[in-house]
Structure 1
Amino acid sequence: MSELIKHECGIALIRLRKPLSYYQEKYGTWQYGLNKLYLLMEKQHNRGQDGAGVVSVKLNLKPGQEYIHRYRSVEQNPIKDVFDKVGKPVKKAMKAGKDINNLNWVYDNMPFAGELYLGHLRYGTFGNNSIEFVHPVMRQNNWKSRTLVLAGNFNLTNTDELFQRLIDLGQHPKNYTDTVTALEKVGHFLDEENQFRFRQYKNEGFSNREISPLIEKTLDVQSIVENASKDWDGGYAMAGLIGHGDAFVARDPWGIRPAHYYIDDEVVVVASERPVIQTVMDVKGEDVHQIKPGEALIIKKDGSVSTQFVRVPHKRKSCSFERIYFSRGSDKDIYQERKALGHLLAPTILEAINFDVKNTVFSYIPNTSETAFYGLVKGVRDHLMVWKKEQIRIKNGNITEEDLENIISLEPRVEKIAIKDVKLRTFIADDASRDDLVAHVYDVTYGVIRENEDTLVIIDDSIVRGTTLKKSILKILDRLSPKKVIVVSSAPQIRYPDCYGIDMAELGKFIAFNAAIELLKDHDKQHIIDEVYSKCKAQENLPKEEIVNYVKEIYRPFTPEQVSAKIAELLKPEGCRAEIDIVYQTVENLHKACPNDTGDWYFTGDYPTPGGNKVVNTSFINFVEGFKGRAY
């Protein structure tokens, strides 16, 4: 994607199943788990650069010793900042001459010498990036089995409902966010479970001191998560630690947000992405498993592991947009899917260039679209192979050496056209200066385009707002004087807001939506805008389960090709000499390329949860009324 879209967060959990002495002996360091946590987070840094946090829990300390430690950061390089803080006590101890290989002393004195770790990488979708909003978040208590740590990759669409239910329980939440409501909801049922167990053991004659370890042993984590999450509407991979040592990672019943895990006799590892676990743990892809939709991976204090359903699983609607762009492309399936997206575009692109491969240059921008580019080029080569055979057959044995050479040598012209050169610094305040800098974000390769003769095909993984295309990319490509520029999106037209973890909540920022609005005006159909607004307003106070997505009616009068043509018109910079064409992937081809991840609400408006319809209608109301901000 050539423009910045903030998106999903990343989680990393490690549970050591052996004593620290085991890792000291086998791997030469008691910091084995900590080192793995760092690698898991660093390998997922693409999932969150606004903040980072880590928590460590020690399972076997005496009362009076601090058993849970947390560091969080919103510095420019938050992962480094957090782990610098984690490592500081060790360096200080070494400087003071302490024996940091004495595990008894280390366990009692080094904050992060624990058995259970949870890390989080944050992209702030709520617009507030203070340290208070950085995960993991905590709910502390003098009873370890009531202390809760939570971190997740999630957005809940019904925070208003959940917030009100907390108030109805008699609580006074300190913030109106889905993070706080989730923490307090899990915390409420954690308290309930503790109280139930306490009464049970008290009735059986146990003393208070005897009861605490019994609660820790028998705490029903599955029941806690099931009760807490039953009203959640949204996408989530929610990780939690309980102070005495239990842990869980729960996935939403639609499988919208990803979570993977690996287990052996030494360690349990959970991360948002499969290849990260493969790389960090040096294991094969088949050894890494997905937490199923509606399922929770539960790790007990004694190290035993189980998977249990906490929600009734729905039809899998895992996010296809994540597959297209946000996930690590080193995953074997994601790599092939992205390549297939490009390959499936080849027939449309060949038609767009009138099959004139000889006078066309193929390239990509930005680097994340490189894999789809390989697929597109392969598709063009597949076409040429058919064409070459046909040309040779036509000659029917009368082919000259020159003809044969011309036929065989024809290949797609592949060039590196654009290189990202500088990053726009947001301290530039005025729009004119900012726009001037944006225009220089990329440099171009001169001399590879034949002026006013060649068509330039550039593939991008998605076109959401089109801002960078209009203000930068198309301007600099026009300097090369191509006859025509075709910008290709390997994703379909993004028409509807996301509400499950990616920061795309304002309809007015989508170039496809703006194109549809302009088409309605061009065709004297402005009344549709008013009608949709009235229908959305009429639903404003209905329960989310009864709301219909009426925003679909904005697009209904026009074909995708008409919308694409209007997008090209809107994005063509003033003074641009080249003809501009915009080509998008089809939804049908998206599902061919990504058959197992069918969540396509960005493109179709078919939201997997009722809260999605509420969000899209609210977003449209906000657009008409001129309100800027999140629609949920």
Structure 2
Amino acid sequence: MSEDIKHECGLAYIRLRKPFSFYQQKYGAVTYGLNKLYLLMEKQHNRGQDGAGIAAVKLNVEPGNPFLHRMRSCAPQPIADIFFKIGQEIAELEKYQPDIKQHPGLMKGHLPFLGELLLGHLRYGTQGKNNAEFCHPFIKRDLMPGKNLALAGNFNMVNTDELFDLINMAPGDFQKQSDLAAMMEVFHHFLSKADEEHPNAADIIHVLKKATPLFDGGYSIGALLGNGHSFVMRDAHGIRPAYYYINDEVIVAASERAAIRTTFNVGENEVMELMPGTALIVDDTGNYRIEQILEPKERRACSFERIYFSRGSDEKIYRERIALGHHLSQTVLDRINYDLKNTIFSYIPNTAEVAFYGLVKGMEEYLNKIKVERILSWGNDFTPEKLEEMVTRKIRQEKIAIKDVKLRTFITEDANRNEMVQHVYDVTYGTVRRNEDTLVVIDDSIVRGTTLKESIIRMLARLQPKKIIVVSSAPQIRYPDCYGIDMSKLGDFIAFRAAIALLKERNMEHVITDIQEKIKELQRNNQLHTENMVRHIYKPFTTLEISDKIAQLITPSELNIDVEVIYQTIEDLHDSCPTNTGDWYFTGNYPTAGGNRVVNKAFLNYMEGKNVRGY
């Protein structure tokens, strides 16, 4: 995605099922759990670079001694910062007792984060300020160990105000800015009502069944209790991802399957998906159960996980991204009039590389078919040179753009800032024949179009191709997301702006005002959640008409090079990614009523010129 958006947090959970002495003897490291937590988080660092945090719970601690510890960081490299500090603590202990690592009991007593229960989190801020205070895990302390709670998750809630009302709590300034704070208070509210002083697994199930039906949003959450119980749970639609792995030594959960596989060196079939509405619940002895907490609803797992968010090292995601690119090949062939000889293929940014391979695969299949047909048509009328020329023809592929990660657009004046933005990418000169070659560049998705217009199109134009075709492996992003991705302002979307521009060009502005009035009526009747009215903005136009308008909008006015835009179709998206059918940002088909409320509110905000979230 050439334009970064705030998205997907990452979750990491580990429950050690053996004494620390076991890991010291088998793996030579009493810090085995911490080492694995570090790897599990680092292998998901793509999911959060605003901050990170960890929490640890120690079992069987002597009364009066602390058993729940937490550390958070919003340093430039927050994971490294946290574990560097833990390393410093270990080094300090070794100053006084050099062989302390050979004594697990001493290490546990002196190293705060050497706990049997570990919870890690990576944050991409979708709400609240970017400081350590907003990093997960959040903790709630209590005199009773079982009422102490550490909570972290990958989610957005669209009904935080209602959650505070349900538990009769007036939120402070901090709580108002944090979805997790609302979730934390609801969990602790029901946890505090548990019958026993030390809640057990049955109580946790009861708490989850009371609390989670109140949440409107997509979520994967992990929690540690001070008495050694813990859980990981996923929403009823399976919007946010969660996977787990269990053996005799550990119980592990994370947001990505590949992270678990790499960290613990296990096969794909050994890592299980936590199914929608279920919770992985672990008691204080290390025994576990998978419990259906919420009745599973229609599976709407986020398709952006497959297109962009999750790392492509997962074999299924890799194949799906190949398929996304491959599905686009026929449309691209049509647009270039099957002229592969004068077409160059590339990708921007690096995360689009796998889809690029799929696109090129489709081109190669067509080229190989042509080679066979041409050779057969020659009969015996060919020379070795003619045959060699045909056989060695290849799809022209180039690394057109290289991102300069060190460049910072620190100049504040708009004109100068735009000039700086143009140079975020470096162009590879000498790759394109001027005014002869068509340049086809694939991107993961096109959200705002700003980077395309101010940087990428200008940069590509310096090569002076005959035409530029930008290909998106995702469909047009038309609607806000409120389930974990920070895409909540309609005016940010280039597809929405294109539709509005078309309505105005065709003297159909009454459609805009009619929708505004209908949404206001829904608002007066407290019915914003009943229907997505913004769909009517797009109904007068075909997808191609909107794509062509987007191409106009992303083309700088001073350029005289043709620019075209090709988008993935919804049908081909679902064919490529059959298990992740969540597509509300493309189709407006929200899995919960809160989504309709958000999109309608976002339209009112746009019409009123309010640059705020729709929830």
Q: Do the two structures share a fold, i.e. TM-score over 0.5?
A: yes
Q: Deviations over 1:315-339 (max 9, x none)?
A: 1000001210010100000000000
Give, in whole Å, the separation in 2 of the partners of 1:539 and 1:387: 58
Residues 210-289 of structure 1: pairs in structure 2 closer than 5 A:
212=197, 215-217=198-200, 219-289=202-272
Question: Would the aligned equivalents of 1:255 and 1:292 in 2 still touch at CA under 8 Å?
Answer: yes
Do structure 1's residue 76 and structure 2's residue 76 form an aligned pair?
Answer: yes
- Relative to the length of structure 1, the TM-score reads 0.94
Q: Deviations over 1:536-564 (max 9, x none)?
A: 11122555685200100000000010001
Residues 92-241 of structure 1: pairs in structure 2 closer than 5 A:
92-97=92-97, 99-100=99-100, 101-167=102-168, 175-176=175-176, 177-193=178-194, 196-197=195-196, 212=197, 215-217=198-200, 219-241=202-224
Q: 1:200 matched to which residue of 2?
A: none
Give, in whole Å, the separation in 1 of the partners of 2:301 and 2:383: 55
Q: 1:208 matched to which residue of 2?
A: none
Which deviates the most, 70-79 or 102-111? 102-111
Give, in whole Å, the separation in 2 of the partners of 1:170 and 1:579: 57
Which deviates the most, 574-583 or 459-468? 574-583
Do structure 1's residue 59 and structure 2's residue 42 form an aligned pair?
Answer: no
Give, in whole Å, the separation in 1 of the partners of 2:528 and 2:28: 56
Q: Deviations over 1:7-36 (max 9, x none)?
A: 010010100000001001111111000000
Question: Would the aligned equivalents of 1:44 and 1:276 in 2 still touch at CA under 8 Å?
Answer: yes
Alpha carbons of structure 1 residues 426 and 186: separation in structure 2 relative to 1, 3 Å = farther
Q: 2:496 matched to which residue of 1?
A: 513
Question: Would the aligned equivalents of 1:422 and 1:440 in 2 still touch at CA under 8 Å?
Answer: no
Q: 2:391 matched to which residue of 1?
A: 408
- 1:6 is displaced (CA, Å) by 1.1
Question: Would the aligned equivalents of 1:7 and 1:123 in 2 still touch at CA under 8 Å?
Answer: yes
Do structure 1's residue 439 and structure 2's residue 422 form an aligned pair?
Answer: yes
Q: 1:86 matched to which residue of 2?
A: 86
Pick the aligned partner of 2:459 from 461, 473, 476: 476
- 1:402 is displaced (CA, Å) by 4.7
Give, in whole Å, the separation in 1 of the partners of 2:221 and 2:173: 19
Alpha carbons of structure 1 residues 542 and 329: separation in structure 2 relative to 1, 3 Å = farther
Give, in whole Å, the separation in 1 of the partners of 2:399 and 2:357: 13
Pick the aligned partner of 2:316 from 333, 343, 351: 333
Pick the aligned partner of 1:622 from 605, 608, 612: 605
Give, in whole Å, the separation in 2 of the partners of 1:112 and 1:321: 34
Alpha carbons of structure 1 residues 429 and 110: separation in structure 2 relative to 1, 3 Å = same
Give, in whole Å, the separation in 2 of the partners of 1:59 and 1:454: 67
Q: 1:314 matched to which residue of 2?
A: 297
The one-letter code matched in structure 2 to 1:153 is N
- 1:345 is displaced (CA, Å) by 0.3
The one-letter code matched in structure 1 to 2:59 is L
Q: Which runs of 5+ in 2 are unaligned?
A: none
The one-letter code matched in structure 2 to 1:133 is F
Give, in whole Å, the separation in 1 of the partners of 2:165 and 2:16: 39
Q: Deviations over 1:154-213 (max 9, x none)?
A: 00111121122122x6887961132111001010111111xx23xxxxxxxxxxxxxx5x
The one-letter code matched in structure 1 to 2:321 is R
Alpha carbons of structure 1 residues 543 and 224: separation in structure 2 relative to 1, 3 Å = farther
Question: Would the aligned equivalents of 1:173 and 1:181 in 2 still touch at CA under 8 Å?
Answer: no
Residue identity (%): 54
- 1:446 is displaced (CA, Å) by 1.1
Q: 2:21 matched to which residue of 1?
A: 21
Question: For 1:575, what is the secondary structure of its paired residue?
Answer: coil
Give, in whole Å, the separation in 2 of the partners of 1:170 and 1:440: 48
Give, in whole Å, the separation in 1 of the partners of 2:19 and 2:68: 17
Do structure 1's residue 39 and structure 2's residue 22 form an aligned pair?
Answer: no
Give, in whole Å, the separation in 2 of the partners of 1:89 and 1:541: 58
Alpha carbons of structure 1 residues 404 and 187: separation in structure 2 relative to 1, 3 Å = same
Pick the aligned partner of 2:326 from 343, 359, 363: 343
Q: Which runs of 5+ in 1 are unaligned?
A: 198-211
- 1:69 is displaced (CA, Å) by 0.8
Question: Would the aligned equivalents of 1:58 and 1:113 in 2 still touch at CA under 8 Å?
Answer: yes
Residues 527-542 of structure 1: pairs in structure 2 closer than 5 A:
527-542=510-525
Give, in whole Å, the separation in 1 of the partners of 2:542 and 2:128: 35
The one-letter code matched in structure 1 to 2:498 is A
Give, in whole Å, the separation in 2 of the partners of 1:630 and 1:343: 36
Which deviates the most, 270-279 or 400-409? 400-409
Q: 2:370 matched to which residue of 1?
A: 387
Question: Would the aligned equivalents of 1:361 and 1:415 in 2 still touch at CA under 8 Å?
Answer: yes
Question: For 1:248, what is the secondary structure of its paired residue?
Answer: strand
Which deviates the most, 394-403 or 106-115? 394-403
- Relative to the length of structure 2, the TM-score reads 0.97
Question: Would the aligned equivalents of 1:166 and 1:173 in 2 still touch at CA under 8 Å?
Answer: no
Question: Would the aligned equivalents of 1:166 and 1:181 in 2 still touch at CA under 8 Å?
Answer: no
Residues 593-632 of structure 1: pairs in structure 2 closer than 5 A:
593-632=576-615
- 1:219 is displaced (CA, Å) by 4.8
Which deviates the most, 389-398 or 622-631? 389-398
- 1:127 is displaced (CA, Å) by 4.4
Question: For 1:471, what is the secondary structure of its paired residue?
Answer: helix
Alpha carbons of structure 1 residues 119 and 436: separation in structure 2 relative to 1, 3 Å = same
Give, in whole Å, the separation in 1 of the partners of 2:226 and 2:255: 23
Q: Deviations over 1:367-387 (max 9, x none)?
A: 100000000011011111222
Do structure 1's residue 398 and structure 2's residue 399 form an aligned pair?
Answer: no
Aligned length: 613
Tell me how large the CA RMSD over aligned residues is.
Answer: 1.6
Q: Deviations over 1:403-462 (max 9, x none)?
A: 433432332111111111244436433322321211001111111211101101001111
The one-letter code matched in structure 1 to 2:351 is T
Question: Would the aligned equivalents of 2:49 and 2:124 in 1 still touch at CA under 8 Å?
Answer: yes
- 1:225 is displaced (CA, Å) by 1.1
Question: For 2:432, what is the secondary structure of its paired residue?
Answer: coil
Residues 445-524 of structure 1: pairs in structure 2 closer than 5 A:
445-524=428-507
Give, in whole Å, the separation in 2 of the partners of 1:159 and 1:487: 39
- 1:132 is displaced (CA, Å) by 2.0
- 1:222 is displaced (CA, Å) by 1.2
Q: 1:365 matched to which residue of 2?
A: 348
Question: For 2:504, what is the secondary structure of its paired residue?
Answer: helix
Alpha carbons of structure 1 residues 105 and 447: separation in structure 2 relative to 1, 3 Å = same
Q: Deviations over 1:442-484 (max 9, x none)?
A: 1111112111011010011111111111111111111111000
Alpha carbons of structure 1 residues 452 and 173: separation in structure 2 relative to 1, 3 Å = closer
Q: 1:203 matched to which residue of 2?
A: none
Give, in whole Å, the separation in 1 of the partners of 2:558 and 2:199: 70
The one-letter code matched in structure 2 to 1:440 is H
- 1:93 is displaced (CA, Å) by 1.1
Alpha carbons of structure 1 residues 171 and 458: separation in structure 2 relative to 1, 3 Å = closer
Q: 1:205 matched to which residue of 2?
A: none
